[in-house]
Amino acid sequence: MTPPDNKPIPLLDLQAQYNSIANELEAAALGLMRSGQYIMGRTVAQFESDIASYLGVEHALGCASGSDALLLALMALDIGPGDAVITSPFTYFATGGAITRLGAIPIFMDIRPADYNLDPAGVRHFLESSDTRYQALGIRPEQVKAIIPVHLYGQMADIEEFLAISQEFSIPLVEDAAQAIGAEQAFSNGRIVGAGTEGDFGCFSFFPSKNLGALGDGGLITVRNPELAEKVRILRLHGSKPKYYHQMVGINSRLDALQAAILRVKLNYLDSWSAARQEKATVYNELFAKAGLVSEAPHCWDRDCKSVCNWLGKSVVLPTETVACNGGTHIYHQYTIRVKERDTIAKGLTNAGIGNSVYYPLCLHQQECFSDLGYAGFEELCPNAVCAASQALSLPIYPELSKNNQRRVVETIGSLLA
């Protein structure tokens, strides 16, 4: 056993990250303040150029938040009342919120239990055969005007299959890559693609806790079509071009120049930080295995999750088991395990001074604000998502996390499961 250590272990240590590059960050902030350009301007343009080069895209446009990135993408597609958008119920609220803010209907479809991401097989089945369960909710395939797969926890959804569906049914694809900047996936032809770079739009968040985080809110939207990219540029400035002449009703969603200055510094470290997170994940995997706490679940589970919630005993499912299903690179925005009696384990970790969090405890289709959609009587539509919401538990992970602290996390979980 590791000697007792009562010092708290945070879920994320942003102070440690700041300390490692404090001089660069402070110089960038001071330079920005001295420039006198605080809204848009050269610093934002430079960051947009830097991030476009990093992602390998032509159009990368800063905005106020990841939530606004999703909203701007849907606004650029003219989505509104009577339209519908397919997405995952197991994600942050912003994904569903962007849809309903425009008066459209979110169609929540189930996830794959292995990777927590929207299941393309279910989406295809609905579009091909109009699942009668969704018909009972008054939702028809012809209403669908966009699909939003979410790259959850730092690993990509099956974007190759979603691209095929998008092309086959002529439905725009909006990637929610808020948690997955730098994640990659290998296509069947061997081509390596990055999160947020293949769909019609890619939406990113620079919330401070993200792998590439600002000192406040910030977002980015990548756009494939140059005409739609220009439309987003106009929409993010209240729909005006030139200033004070409004072609459309937009929103006020500009990336703050101070955040752009900070992000330019941090972008230089993103790959090394992601690699460090991957190393920490490997350490966790080894520690869990050595402690005999790893389940014997197959790498790629069957899509029917009915037995999964009951099959976990005194063991955990590790996130690396999901990567094999995608042929992808996990950048570990979160290191999320599955564990039975999750809430009890979480409370025990908290009592031991170990940070942890549940992403997410209640699926979107179960949220009170969406009760008018009628999902309450159709819980069987998303059983995998509901199961994940009862088992998912995120543990501390960040580049500066020590192996001793990781050992303490695993030993504590082991004692709680005993």
Helix (H) or strand (E) holding 392: strand 392-395
- pLDDT-derived band of residue 328, with 50, 70 and 90 as boundaries? confident
Is residue 212 pLDDT above 70, yes or no? yes
pLDDT tens per residue across span 240-268: 999 999 999 999 999 999 999 999 999 99
Nearest to 162 by CA among 124, 195, 216, 125: 124
pLDDT score, position 315: 86
Span 366-370, average pLDDT: 94
14-30: buried (b, 16+ CB within 10 Å) or exposed (e) per residue? Answer: eeebeeeeeeebeebee
Nearest to 268 by CA among 57, 65, 50: 50
The residue assigned the tokens 């590790």 is: 318
What is the overall mean pLDDT for the chain? 92
Beta-bridged to residue 336, according to DSSP, are 394
Name which of 118-132, 147-161, 271-285 the model is least confident about: 118-132
DSSP character string of 92-114: -HHHHHHHHHTT-EEEE-PBPTT
Higher pLDDT pick, 398 / 298 = 398
In this structure, is the dihedral angle defined by the CA atoms of residues 45, 46, 51 and 52, taken in order, positive or negative? positive
Sheet holding 201-205, edge to edge: 60-63, 219-223, 201-205, 174-176
Question: CB atoms < 10 A from the CB of 216, how many?
Answer: 14
Span 308-331, average pLDDT: 72
pLDDT tens per residue across span 131-169: 778 888 888 999 999 999 999 999 999 999 999 999 999
- pLDDT-derived band of residue 343, with 50, 70 and 90 as boundaries? very high
Is residue 32 pLDDT above 90, yes or no? yes
CA distance 53 to 203: 16
CA distance 37 to 31: 10
Span 190-195, average pLDDT: 93
pLDDT score, position 320: 65
DSSP, res 367: S
Residue 343's alpha-carbon distances to 211, 346, 394, in angstroms, are 26, 5, 12
Name which of 15-24, 32-41, 53-62, 358-367 the model is least confident about: 32-41
- pLDDT-derived band of residue 222, with 50, 70 and 90 as boundaries? very high
**Crossing angle (nearest 10°) for helices 66-76 and 226-235:** 120
CA distance 60 to 340: 41
Where does residue 376 rank: exposed (0-12), middle (13-18), buried (19+ CB within 10 A)?
A: exposed
DSSP character string of 220-239: EEEESSHHHHHHHHHHTBTT
pLDDT tens per residue across span 398-411: 999 999 999 999 99
Nearest to 271 by CA among 221, 351, 331: 331
Single pTM value for the model = 0.94
DSSP, res 369: G
pLDDT score, position 281: 96
- pLDDT-derived band of residue 2, with 50, 70 and 90 as boundaries? very low
Helix (H) or strand (E) holding 167: helix 159-169
- pLDDT-derived band of residue 375, with 50, 70 and 90 as boundaries? confident
Is residue 415 pLDDT above 50, yes or no? yes
pLDDT score, position 136: 82
Span 223-227, average pLDDT: 98
pLDDT score, position 310: 61
The domains found in the chain, sorted by start residue, are 17-267 (3.40.640.10), 270-417 (3.90.1150.10)
CA distance 315 to 87: 31
CA distance 265 to 308: 43
Is residue 105 pLDDT above 90, yes or no? yes
pLDDT score, position 300: 46
